[in-house]
């Protein structure tokens, strides 16, 4: 028997769970969490027991022999800037998450906690791999326009790195030799410039970039300042509005892209307008990141859950094909596989686990 690894990827509206033996998936499923259930929790951390119980129930449904498990690996959250790799979950990491010493309140913060709570009673290690705070910025990318505020590297690094390697396989060249713009199109959108294996710039999906199913993306700054001081919102409410209740939800009351496209195709003009606006913003950010690479591109890569919707992909391609005809699409997320492969490299001795400090 090889290494048996449980991988957990908590997202905005779901918890994805998989059981692998080495690199082969045995079980994989998505536990959906309705907006009504999620909205009942004041903070993301409050969801920990709720999500753990759902995952434990799924493992029981799969009839998993927990004694056969080698490790549990969870998605890493928006920690402080970290180098790419696999980290063993330790007390410092757990304390930073629980005490709020993280860059943002995001469901991925639960990955390390869930991995630890499942692994600890079994006496096996818990890991995270390539958290969203992987930072490979060049110094120019940190400058915001206001000295008091620095741009931060927070992105869907795990999936973006994985599809970067998959693109390299398709093109027959190592990832470290390619220049790519990779667009992760999910409930949040990250679009990054990857130069020779390093993500040297990327929009922080909580701070900017295109609006997405749940997030506002860039906002007109002077109007946002007026809104902040309007007396209508406290900071907690406004941050929630920007990061969890913006974008498609704010305009159309839904974050489910496929039914929205069908509605637009049936003649709903407002829905069609908002979808065109999102395509325009996505395409603008792809073009901007292409400029970071001076237009020297081996390809543009579209990935994430929204990449399953052909109407969206066709609309984006129509706007960006002038940049390069080499546009690759990897629908969905390969994050569970990426998590498992990272943990496996440590378990098999190919890499040393990194220490979170």
How far apart are the C-alpha atoms of 13 and 133, rounded to whole Å? 21
Which pLDDT score is estimated for 165?
A: 83
Q: How far apart are CA 17 and CA 310, in angstroms?
A: 26
Residue spans of the domains in the chain: they are 4-134+335-355, 157-331
Neighbours of 345 (CB within 10 A): 16
Integer Cα distance of 301 and 295 in angstroms: 15
User: CA nearest 114: which of 11, 257, 199?
Assistant: 11
Q: Is 225 helix (H, G, I), strand (E, B) or coil?
A: helix
Q: What is the mean pLDDT of residues 189-196?
A: 97
- Judged by DSSP in three states, 169 sits in helix
At residue 259 the predicted structure's pLDDT band, cuts being 50, 70 and 90, is very high
Collect all residues with Cβ–Cβ distance below 8 Å to 299 and sequence separation of at least 6.
167, 171, 178, 180, 181, 324, 326, 327, 328
Spatial contact of 88 and 103, defined as CB atoms under 8 Å apart: no
Q: Domain 157-331 carries which CATH code?
A: 3.30.420.40
User: Do the domains spanning 4-134+335-355 and 157-331 agree at the CATH topology level?
Assistant: yes
Average pLDDT over residues 68-80: 94
pTM for the full predicted model: 0.80
- In whole numbers, what is the pLDDT of the chain averaged over residues? 95
Which fold does the domain 4-134+335-355 belong to in CATH?
Answer: Nucleotidyltransferase; domain 5 (3.30.420)
């Amino acid at each position: 028997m090889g290494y048996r690894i449980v991988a957990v990827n908590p997202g905005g509206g779901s918890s994805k769970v998989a059981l692998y033996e080495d690199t082969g998936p045995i079980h994989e499923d998505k536990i959906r969490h309705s907006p009504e259930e999620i909205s009942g929790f004041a903070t993301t951390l409050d969801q920990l027991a709720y999500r753990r119980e759902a995952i434990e129930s799924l493992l029981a449904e799969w009839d998993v022999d927990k004694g056969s498990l080698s490790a549990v690996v969870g998605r890493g959250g928006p920690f402080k800037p970290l180098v790419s790799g696999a980290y063993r979950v330790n007390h410092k990491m757990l304390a930073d998450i629980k005490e709020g010493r993280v860059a943002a309140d995001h469901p991925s913060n639960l990955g390390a906690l869930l991995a630890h709570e499942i692994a600890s009673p079994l006496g096996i290690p818990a890991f995270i791999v390539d958290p969203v705070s992987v930072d490979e910025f060049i110094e120019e990318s940190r400058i915001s326009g206001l000295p008091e505020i620095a741009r931060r590297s927070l992105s869907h690094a795990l999936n973006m790195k994985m599809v970067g390697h998959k693109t390299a396989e398709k093109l027959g060249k190592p990832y470290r030799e390619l220049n790519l713009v990779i667009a992760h199109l999910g409930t949040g959108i990250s679009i990054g410039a990857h130069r020779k294996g390093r993500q040297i710039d990327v929009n922080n999906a909580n701070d900017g970039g295109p609006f997405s199913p749940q997030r506002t993306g860039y906002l007109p700054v002077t109007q946002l300042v007026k809104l902040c001081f309007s007396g209508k919102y406290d900071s907690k409410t406004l941050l929630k509005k920007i990061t969890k209740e913006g974008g498609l939800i704010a305009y159309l009351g839904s974050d489910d892209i496929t039914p929205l496209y069908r509605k637009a195709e049936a003649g709903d003009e407002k829905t069609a307008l908002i979808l065109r606006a999102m395509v325009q913003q996505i395409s603008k950010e792809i073009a901007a990141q292409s400029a970071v690479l001076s237009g020297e591109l081996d390809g543009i890569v579209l990935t994430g859950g929204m990449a399953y919707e052909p109407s969206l992909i066709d609309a984006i391609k129509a706007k960006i094909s002038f940049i390069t005809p080499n546009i690759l699409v990897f629908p969905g997320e390969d994050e569970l596989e990426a998590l498992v492969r990272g943990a496996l490299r440590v378990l098999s001795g190919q890499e040393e686990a990194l220490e979170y400090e």
